[in-house]
Every structure is written in structure tokens, then in C-alpha cells.
């Protein structure tokens, strides 16, 4: 997957749709803090990191961590172009966050936890978060993925994507962690309307890494069938519409002192 993210890094932000809802929700949860040290883990090319910093302004310092050097290079260019300086890019793994213990008010991760070793990431998050610090995990659940336009119409898409979690699986991962407790779960629904050309462009560019699990000929054949399925289901090919769903977990770090 490293090479996939390296290859796609120059185009990544343009290929994916960025939703403001989760960023506003997180910013609202942090609004009472006078200064915020936060980290975006698996930040990619920075589309959510930038929105977060823009919303919280100068009172926040964001550590943008990703294992992929291409993604971080593009994040750096993007932040520079937008005159953002209150951030530090960090190339590292999600289970090895090179920051001090008890140093962060908030950690967030968008569309990335299914790439991590989850239990190791949680353990490391609990270490770097302050007592009462918050962890926000924004993801597509397995069942939500099945209801996307890709899950419904692209052959084998849901079966090939077996890295995503169900909510119960996430809940039991948190039960295993002594410090991290889920305080709330919020579901988002985003109404999408795209022309068919945009969908084909996204798939051809592998905007979801799931497409990397197809052999070349299998992908070609599946894309052809996807277009046929869309033609059979929609009349207006300039306005293919569907709803994407996502889940945001809000987690609190409670460290026990004896
Ligand atoms: C699907 S992309 C999401 C990027 C970004 N959060 C967004 O929503 O645009 C997943 C990102 O996680 C990064 N990643 C994957 N495994 C990682 C790991 N073990 N540690 C740190 N980053 C990782 C990838 O390099 C990639 O940039």
C-alpha cells in the first residue's frame, strides 16, 4: 500500500470528497480550550488537517503524522500555499508517535484506522494524550461501505475491502484498552451528486485503495460492469446521486492514578 499512497499523493485531495461536518463537530468539542496541541494521524495530503487548523486558528498547533513521504510533501506544499505555519509534519508510523507522553489535548484520524495496527495505535494514542484528552476516529464502517455507490454497483467492491471495521469490532477494541473509553458515536450522511465521468475518473485513479486488490484485467472488466450497472439504475448521467455514510467515534482518555 505504501507505493499506492506514494503514487496517488499528488492527486489525492482532488480525487476524494472532503466533508466539513466532522471537522466542525471536533472543533466545537475543543472550543473551551485556550490552547490546543493536536495530532492528525494518517493525515495524508492534509485535506482534513488544513480545515482543522483553519477552524481553530492560531490557538492550535497540529502535528501531521503519516508514514508516507509523498503524502507529507504534498501536505507541506498545501499548507505553505494557504499560509499555515502552526503545524509540524512528522513521518512516522501510527503506533510510534514521536511525541512526549501526556502532551496532546486531541488526536484525530480520518479515513485511516483500517490501515493501522489498531490496538497498537490505541495504546500509543493513550500514551501521548493528556488525562481527559480526546481521540476522534472518523471512518467508514464495513456496512456503510456496502451502501456506497461502489459497494452497490462496482463488482466485488465490498468483498475485496475487508479491512474496514463494524462498530462492534471497534467497541471491543476499546474495551481491551484500560484508558480509552468511547463517550459518543456520531453518524454522518453526505448527499453526493456526481457526473458519471467523475466516478470513472475516481475509479481509474484508485481513489479508494480497495481498487488495488483487483488484478489489472479484473479491474477493467469490473469498471465496465460498473458503468453498465449505473446506466441501468440512473436516467441522468450528469447527476448520479447517492448517500455516503461515515461514523465518528469520540473517545476520552482517562488515566487511572492509584
Ligand atoms: C486513506 S488515506 C487518508 C488520508 C487522510 N486522512 C484523508 O482523509 O485525506 C490513509 C493514510 O494513512 C497513511 N497510513 C497508512 N498506514 C499508516 C501507518 N501505519 N502509520 C501512519 N500512516 C499510515 C497513508 O500513507 C495514507 O496517507
Cα-trace Rg, the chain = 19
Instruction: From the CA of 94, give the closest atom in ligand 1.
Output: 20
44 lines ligand 1 (CB under 6 A): yes
Kindly tell me if the per-residue pLDDT of 256 is higher than 80: no
Cα 186 to Cα 70, 177, 226, 245, 247, distances in angstroms = 31, 21, 31, 11, 6
Residue 33 has pLDDT above 60, yes or no: yes
To test the pocket of ligand 1, the residue of 18, 44, 206 to mutate (highest count of ligand atoms within 8 Å of its CB) is: 44
Residues 6+ away with beta carbon under 8 Å from 110: 22, 40, 42, 43, 44, 48, 138
* Per-residue confidence (pLDDT) for residue 225, from 0 to 100: 97
- For residue 43 and ligand 1, the question of a CB distance below 6 A is answered with yes
pLDDT band at 258 (very low <50, low <70, confident <90, very high): low
Q: What is the pLDDT of residue 176?
A: 87
Mean pLDDT value across residues 38-62: 96
How far apart CA 183 and CA 29 sit, in angstroms, is 12
Give 86-105 pLDDT, tens digit per residue.
999 999 999 999 999 999 99
pLDDT digits (tens, 9 = 90+) for 129-149: 999 999 999 999 999 999 999
**pLDDT attached to residue 76:** 97
Nearest alpha carbon, ligand 1 atom 12:
42
Distance 256 CA to ligand 1 centre (A): 31
**Per-residue pLDDT band at 257 (split at 50, 70, 90):** low
Parallel, antiparallel or unpaired: strands 60-66 and 129-139: unpaired
Q: What is the pTM (predicted TM-score) of this model?
A: 0.95
Question: What domains sit in the chain, N to C, each tagged with a CATH number?
Answer: 2-253 (3.40.50.150)
Amino acid at each position: 500500500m505504501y507505493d499506492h499512497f506514494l503514487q496517488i499523493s499528488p492527486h489525492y485531495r482532488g480525487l476524494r470528497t472532503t466533508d466539513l461536518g466532522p471537522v466542525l463537530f471536533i472543533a466545537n468539542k475543543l472550543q473551551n480550550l485556550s490552547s490546543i496541541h493536536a495530532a492528525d494521524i494518517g493525515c495524508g495530503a492534509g485535506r482534513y488537517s488544513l480545515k482543522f487548523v483553519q477552524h481553530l486558528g492560531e490557538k492550535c498547533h497540529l502535528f501531521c503524522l503519516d508514514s508516507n513521504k509523498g503524502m507529507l510533501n504534498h501536505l507541506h506544499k498545501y499548507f505553505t500555499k494557504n499560509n499555515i505555519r502552526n503545524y509540524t509534519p512528522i513521518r512516522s508510523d501510527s503506533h510510534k508517535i514521536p511525541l512526549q507522553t501526556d502532551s496532546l489535548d486531541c488526536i484525530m484520524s480520518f479515513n485511516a484506522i483500517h490501515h493501522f495496527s489498531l490496538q497498537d495505535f490505541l495504546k500509543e494514542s493513550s500514551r501521548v494524550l493528556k488525562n481527559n484528552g480526546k481521540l476522534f476516529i472518523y471512518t467508514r464502517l464495513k456496512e456503510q461501505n456496502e451502501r456506497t455507490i461502489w459497494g452497490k454497483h462496482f463488482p466485488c467492491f465490498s468483498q475485496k475491502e475487508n479491512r474496514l471495521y463494524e462498530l462492534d469490532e471497534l467497541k471491543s477494541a476499546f474495551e481491551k484498552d484500560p484508558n480509552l473509553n468511547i463517550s459518543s458515536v456520531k453518524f454522518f450522511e453526505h448527499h453526493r451528486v456526481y457526473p458519471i465521468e467523475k466516478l470513472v475518473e475516481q475509479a481509474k485513479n484508485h481513489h479508494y485503495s480497495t481498487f488495488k486488490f483487483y488484478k489489472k484485467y479484473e479491474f477493467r472488466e469490473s469498471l465496465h460492469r460498473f458503468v453498465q450497472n449505473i446506466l441501468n439504475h440512473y436516467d441522468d448521467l450528469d447527476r448520479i446521486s447517492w448517500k455516503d455514510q461515515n461514523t465518528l467515534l469520540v473517545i476520552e482518555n482517562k488515566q487511572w492514578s492509584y
